[in-house]
Every structure is written in structure tokens, then in C-alpha cells.
Amino acid sequence: MKRREVLNIIDEGENLSVEFKQRFSSHEKIAKEMIAFANTKGGVILFGVDDDGSIYGVESEKGEAELIKESAEQFCEPPVPYKIHFFEIENKEIVIVEIKESDDKPHRIQDYLPQLDIRQASVYVRINDKSVLASKEMIKILQVNTSGKGLEKYQVGKNEKIVFDYLDKNEVITVKDLSSIANISDRRASRTLIKLVRANLLMIHTKDNGENFFSYSG
């Protein structure tokens, strides 16, 4: 990462792949941001930069680096790989953490459970310029994408036909929509929509508040 690239990132402001932190807040909050980037498309966290792009700098590069290391290794499960860069901007030291999209999704806040429990795991994804809790549907899709197990053969049943009929008249469908019109449980509706995503027949989208909706692929 070069100085000009850093200045451009600061000028453009926070977005899907950029987060500013005036200072290190807490291990869990930083782990949340690292997890969100690893579970989405990757990104960078700039320490010593305020939300509006003002440069404040950090008190200690080494101290900040150690806190970041602890966040990545002790507060993320599995640990989030990262690279760290140090730059001097406006005579102040800033620390940049670079995180690649992970091949080991979904990452979660460390809960010391032997396996991911989808009912209580704190899994975060990046939506626009925010890190938000992933829904159960999104967590399942992350798991499927990591395993590489798509659905090559998939029979379309009654509930799937209801989905297609609904999408022929509406742009998107939610779990609640399908549950209501098909008179099935939310759990069954969720499972139906996830299978259609796995079969590459639908796409999953996430709103700023973490809620999901589904649309035709392509």
C-alpha cells in the first residue's frame, strides 16, 4: 500500500470497504469490523482517522498494533488474517489494517463454542459503510459458499412455484412474504429461499438494518 493510495482512501471516505477509527475502542468492536470485512469483500480500517476524514493520529504504533493483533487472534473465530501498515500523514502516525475477503467464512465473535451455533453466533457482514449482524439466512449462505456445495439437482416443488409466481408480479420476496402466502412456518420459508439461492435461482440481498430479501438471479 502506497501513500497516494492512503490519501485517496481518506479523501473518498467510509464505504463498503473502508472504516475510519479515531482511536482503538475495544477488542470486541474492532473484531466486529474485521469480521465484517472478512465475511464480505475485504477492506481496510484506518486508525487515527475520524469519521469525517480528519487526521488525529495514534499515540503508539506498537501499542495499536498489539491491540489489533489481540482482536484478530483472540476475539475472532476463526482468527481473521490481516496485514498492518504504518503511515505518517500531516505529521501524525496512522495505522492501517488490511483485511482480505476470507476463504474460511463465516467468522464470528469468539464465543468459545466448538462449532458455530447459528442461533446465537455474532456474525457480521459489511453493508454500505456499516458492519451489521448477519441474519440466519446470510450465515447459511456464507457457510454454503465456503463449502463450495451448490445444488446441482434441485426439484421445484409447490413452495418454490409460489416463490416464482410471486416474483413474476413483485421484484423481491422475503421470508415473511413466503411464510404468509404459502401458509408455512418462517423456518420452512427460510429453508426454501436458501435452497433457491444455493441452486443459483435466486439472489440474497441485505438492507442496512440487516434484514434480507430475495430476487431473481441475474
pLDDT tens track for 13-53:
999 999 999 989 899 999 999 999 999 999 999 999 999 99
Instruction: Say whether both 119 and 29 belong to one domain.
Output: yes
Instruction: Say whether both 125 and 156 belong to one domain.
Output: no
Q: Is residue 197 included in any domain, yes or no?
A: yes
Instruction: Say whether both 73 and 165 belong to one domain.
Output: no
Q: Is residue 118 included in any domain, yes or no?
A: yes
Instruction: Say whether both 13 and 120 belong to one domain.
Output: yes
Supply the pLDDT for residue 147: 67
> Which among 132, 163, 180 is the end of a domain?
132
Look at residues 43, 50, 40 and name the one whose alpha carbon lies nearest to residue 20: 50
Q: Is residue 79 included in any domain, yes or no?
A: yes
The predicted model gives 80-91 an average pLDDT of 95
- Answer whether 6's CB lies under 8 Å from 87's CB: yes
The pair phi, psi for residue 67, each rounded to 5°, is -65, -40
pLDDT tens track for 163-207:
999 999 999 999 999 999 999 999 999 999 988 888 888 888 888
Tell me the C-alpha distance between 123 and 141, whole Å: 12
Tell me the C-alpha distance between 189 and 191, whole Å: 5
Q: Which domain holds residue 98?
A: 3-132
Count of domains forming the chain: 2
Entry pTM: 0.81
Q: Is residue 138 included in any domain, yes or no?
A: no
Instruction: Say whether both 8 and 96 belong to one domain.
Output: yes
